[in-house]
Amino acid sequence: MSDLDRLASRAAIQDLYSDKLIAVDKRQEGRLASIWWDDAEWTIEGIGTYKGPEGALDLANNVLWPMFHECIHYGTNLRLEFVSADKGNGIGDVLLLGNSVEGNHPILITCVFPDDYDRRDWVWKFSKRNACTNYFTPLAGFHFAPSGIHFAPSGA
């Protein structure tokens, strides 16, 4: 791998990492489906394994999105290594905050994501993603206010 190819590949994989988080948060099916190879596997500990773009959409539509009114992911600590010119692996951490549908209370989830990426025909996509949950915690006594609430005129 040349230095330029390594940098371009690193940027493409960082975009995949972000695209997955953005797609789930913004409920963007097209973005979510576009980041997986047909033979990819996405496993969420305690929930199951989903295959390919269709599996990712099934997981989002039938598990993740029905779980939250809204959510936001914060991804960090992404570390990438290239196994070969067309294969990479990575590990990153994610913090999710959201309002759950069940009980309409805020929840905090933290996960570690070990990932595998493949480049085929010069395009990088996920070939494997595992979600290893550290915490799945309701935040008792808190409520996430809707956006704009802090900008209301005083006395409102």
Residues identified as active-site? 25, 73
Among residues 91, 95, 90, which one has the least CA distance to residue 135?
95
Residues 6+ apart with CB under 8 A from 56: 32, 33, 35, 36, 40, 42, 50
Proportion of the chain in helix, strand, coil states, percent, rounded to 5: 35, 50, 20
Residue type, 125: K
How many C-beta atoms surround the C-beta of residue 88 within 10 A? 23
DSSP conformation class of 151: G
DSSP conformation class of 62: I
Rounded to an integer, what distance in angstroms lies between the CA atom of residue 8 and that of residue 2?
Answer: 10
